[in-house]
Amino acid sequence: ILVVEPLEQVLVGLERVVGHVAGKAGSFVLQRTGVFENGAAKESYSVVPGSATGELRGLRGDGTSAVGHGLEHPFTLNYDFDR
């Protein structure tokens, strides 16, 4: 008997975010990694070191999300700024 496991769908990407964090304006790049399981994308994020601009310089952080199909993609970002 041959048992074949379903292929795991893996995602990796970079995303530039422009906006405000803690009332500070600028941009930064998130590195995204994750998998698709049971119709949802489960992802982990981390701020690419040195990528933040403007008032966000020194931003560091990471976070997660788990979303299904749709236009909204909320996520939680735990962050801090270099001193």
Count the Cβ atoms, other than its own, within 10 Å of residue 56: 22
- The pLDDT value recorded for residue 6 is 61
Counts for the chain of helices (H) and strands (E), in that order: 0, 5
Residues 25-43 have a mean pLDDT of 89
Residues 12-39 have a mean pLDDT of 92
Least confident of 2-16, 17-31, 51-65: 2-16
- Which CA distances in Å does 32 have to 3, 12, 69, 82? 31, 5, 17, 22
Does 5 score more than 60 pLDDT? no
